[in-house]
Structure 1
């Protein structure tokens, strides 16, 4: 029973954290309407840490495709090969280990009487456990093609889980994540 309570409280805690927090920042002095073309700043996708369990050509392909589609929907066209683009795009996939302390209260806490004067109650206790989990952050940077300065950045972090166990689910999750990040590009 205690394990069920701990698991339930941890699940509720993580589901509260599960909402995607999208962060965006940009240079308000830039004329984003002047940006018409884009290209990848190689390497197009950076990994932190540079771990072969995280790094994947398939993930990079999905991110490249999703970013390209979203930029196209926003009126930016990919520059021809070898041509200078108005902005360069680079993405980062960052995976971090995190830890959460979860406390569960259990026990009597109260006394119940009966008509014959008896009462009972159990000891009150709190159990605190440390739960380890991984958080992934996808960050998309846009760098001015002329001066090389960062002009726009968007990112979101999510608790990693195994729910996207097949390639179609992974692709859908990445498409949705990239769409969330680029939802307010260009800034107004």
Structure 2
């Protein structure tokens, strides 16, 4: 009887953890206001691991469109042919297998000091739950010296269901918007 409630509680816990964990870092000595144009670094998108189940032209297209849209919203324009870009961008899609230990307690006594305790013994069940975490990372490099000047990453637990193309595009757009929220640094 209590086991279905424990499974439901665990599912709700995982759902609450599905928000993206966003991190940013940047070189404080750089003048980000001077960056006006951008281009893709070669390769534009790297996959880790280089797994054909993850690697897809469709995924790359979605990530590239999301990054380009966010850079455009921040005033950076694609570099003109033959010109040098102020900033070069590279994105990463990293998928990791992780494991979480879950302890479920059931049984135990009821009552209080005035009317005594009654009930059975308490049991704990410990099990490991495997899940996947996807991270999208965007690095921006100075176009003159090639040094990393800004990095944003967002990691999120992957859903076990198979989302459709619209859901994938929306999830990538949302994640890239979250990780680019602090560019340019203030």
TM-score by length of 1: 0.91
**How far, CA to CA, are the matches of 1:7 and 1:82 in structure 2?**
58
Once the two structures are TM-superposed, the CA of residue 120 in structure 1 deviates from its matched residue by 5.1
- CA displacement 1:53-89 (0-9 Å, x = unmatched): 0001000001111111111111000112342100100
Match of 1:116 in 2: none
Match of 1:187 in 2: 185
Gaps of 5+ in 1: 113-118
- CA displacement 1:82-126 (0-9 Å, x = unmatched): 4210010000000000000111110132369xxxxxx85222101
Once the two structures are TM-superposed, the CA of residue 174 in structure 1 deviates from its matched residue by 0.8
Q: Which has the higher strand share?
A: 2
Gaps of 5+ in 2: none
Match of 2:89 in 1: 89
Report the CA distance shift for 1:130/1:162 in structure 2 as closer, same or farther (over 3 A).
Answer: closer
Q: Could you list the runs of 4 or more consecutive aligned residues of structure 1 that deviate by over 3 angstroms after TM superposition?
A: none
**How far, CA to CA, are the matches of 1:8 and 1:131 in structure 2?**
14
Once the two structures are TM-superposed, the CA of residue 4 in structure 1 deviates from its matched residue by 1.1
Q: Secondary structure at the match of 1:105?
A: strand
TM-score by length of 2: 0.92
Task: Supply the RMSD in Å over aligned alpha carbons.
Answer: 2.0
Match of 2:169 among 157, 171, 181: 171
Question: Are 2:48 and 2:94, in contact at CA under 8 Å, matched by a contact in 1?
Answer: yes
